[in-house]
Amino acid sequence: MYDLAEGVAQFQRDTFPAKADLFAHLATTHRPHTLFIGCSDARVVPELITGSEPGELFVIRTAGNLVPAYRRGGDGIAASIEYAVSALGVTRIVVCGHSGCGAMTALAENHDLNAMPTTAEWLRQAGVSGTDTAELVHLNVRAQLDNLSSHPSVARALAPMPSPCTAGYSTSVPARSAPSTTPSPPDREPPLSLPRSGITMKGHRKWCTPNLIRPPVKPWPPPPSKPKPVKT
């Protein structure tokens, strides 16, 4: 079994010093550009499959990457969405499904979940049905994108846009090859090609919050400063 304590020690010994400037910047800055909503499945790691650095993604992970429609009363998912959009001003939201999803498999194959009543109740919120797991993964992503628009913070952010767009992706978890990421449903667009304005892609919708929520973030690392002329 992997030793978590050794992993922490390795991070402190090797990873942290190599990215010391980045972590010093993040100590006082929290400006993720994307809210990434993915499945809790341990094989689908958002930062790993997107090649993102610390501080770039604000991540919510739920069983089956479900996003319940908004309802009054506090819950962790709604609060996280609201904070990401209203406080952090993310400019993109991604809902990412994946192949071999246990939640979608349970729905497609009508698994007996009597021993897991909480899980059964949670999956009823998916709002999708079918017998093909792969198809259900894509349908589920689209359904959760629709649910997102019911959240007041998201609706307010989208209101100024003349033609809001949505973005959903599914990633595969093959046994012997690198994961691949495709829009949902599949098409020929480049993986994770997310625009910052309303654009309709073939076969599916994608959206982002307007770029007016917060001022542009300065690039990191900052460009090297020009040396000051030496007075003689």
* Catalytic residue list contains 187: no
Q: Choosing from 33, 98, 138, 142, which is the catalytic residue?
A: 98
Q: Kindly state the tokens that stand for 132.
A: 């093909």
Which two tokens mark 216?
């542009």
DSSP label at residue 86: I
Cα 209 to Cα 5, 168, 197: the distances in Å are 39, 14, 8
* CA gap 88, 94 in Å, rounded: 15
Catalytic site residue from 33, 41, 138, 204: 41
**Which is catalytic among the residues 14, 21, 30, 43?**
43
Q: Give the C-alpha separation, 230 to 232, whole Å.
A: 6
Instruction: Tell me whether residue 43 is one of the annotated catalytic residues.
Output: yes
Tell me, yes or no, if 165 is annotated catalytic. Answer: no
Of 39, 96, 165, 208, which one is the catalytic site residue?
Answer: 39
Closest CA to 157 of 107, 112, 92: 92
Catalytic residue among 33, 92, 96, 101: 101
208 as an active site residue: the answer is: no
Catalogue the active-site residues.
39, 41, 43, 98, 101
